[in-house]
């Protein structure tokens, strides 16, 4: 028996990278996973097929959470077609890096809309049914950049820092109804984004990371599996760093 048996988890941005690892990990723990994607249906279906091959259950669900209508439609569709959402993982995110003097209004707004507003909209949409059921667990995927900042990423850092404030406020707002809200702050994880880092930047990151390596998406996924499980039933409003010690 998995610790998440019988629970339905919605993972935004679940078709690749950290999101795909989260979907796989939650399914391995027994959850039925709704793998959200915006455009890449093939990738989402591939994640579902891998989960199914391992004996789990997953459904690919399209939806753009950067607008309130899309987030409500996504949550409502999962509740209707898959079942009551017990776990929400706000993982959808993008980067549009540039120095502030060169950062366009469009690149600022796209990152805020997807990374921060998207999480707000999905939290808002799922809060009502969770409140009625008096249970639920939400994890917002922030970043070490949201804690410490990073040159050339003012938009991304602002969005990820905003997620921390959102997390702590919602934890206070929803806790009396049995709903836990936490955040996770990954460090530098091996993904498509970090694969393009210049050697000098990669070396600098590794030099500042006590464990001496980049993280793996599975490192983040396992931490989230803990946070949404009953083993973390007295943890809410927390920000768990998964960064190899980079933030020390």
Active-site annotation, residues? 156
Vertex 8 angle, CA 4 and 13, to 5° = 110
Q: What is the chain's length? A: 248
Could you give phi then psi for residue 241, rounded to 5 degrees? -80, 130
Distance between CA atoms of 103 and 109, rounded to whole angstroms? 10
Q: Which pair of structure tokens corresponds to residue 68?
A: 């309130």
Mind spelling out the 3-state secondary structure of 206-228? HHCCCCCCCECHHHHHHHHHHHH
DSSP alpha helix (H) spans, the chain = 17-28, 41-53, 68-81, 105-111, 118-133, 144-148, 154-174, 192-195, 199-207, 217-228
């Amino acid at each position: 028996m998995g610790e998440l048996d019988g629970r339905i988890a919605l993972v935004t941005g679940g078709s690749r990278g950290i999101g795909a690892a989260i979907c796989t990990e939650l399914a391995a723990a027994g959850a039925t996973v709704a793998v959200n994607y915006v455009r890449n249906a093939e990738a989402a279906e591939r994640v579902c097929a891998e989960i199914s091959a391992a004996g789990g259950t997953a459904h690919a669900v399209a939806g753009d959470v950067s607008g309130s209508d899309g987030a409500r439609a996504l949550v409502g569709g999962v509740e209707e077609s898959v079942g009551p959402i017990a776990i929400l993982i706000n993982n959808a995110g993008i980067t549009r890096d540039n120095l502030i003097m060169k950062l366009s209004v469009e690149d600022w707004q796209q990152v805020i809309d997807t990374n921060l507003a998207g999480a707000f909209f999905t939290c808002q949409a799922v809060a009502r049914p969770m409140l009625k059921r008096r249970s639920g667990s939400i994890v917002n995927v922030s970043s070490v950049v949201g804690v410490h900042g990073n040159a050339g990423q003012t938009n991304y850092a602002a969005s990820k820092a905003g997620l921390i404030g959102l997390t702590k406020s919602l934890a206070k707002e929803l806790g009396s109804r049995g709903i836990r809200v936490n955040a996770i702050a990954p460090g530098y994880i091996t993904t498509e984004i970090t694969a393009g880092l210049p050697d000098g930047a990669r070396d600098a990151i590794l030099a500042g990371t006590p464990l001496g390596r980049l993280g793996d998406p599975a490192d983040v996924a396992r931490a989230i599996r803990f946070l949404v499980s009953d083993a973390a039933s007295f943890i809410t409003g927390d920000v768990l760093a998964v960064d190899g010690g980079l933030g020390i």
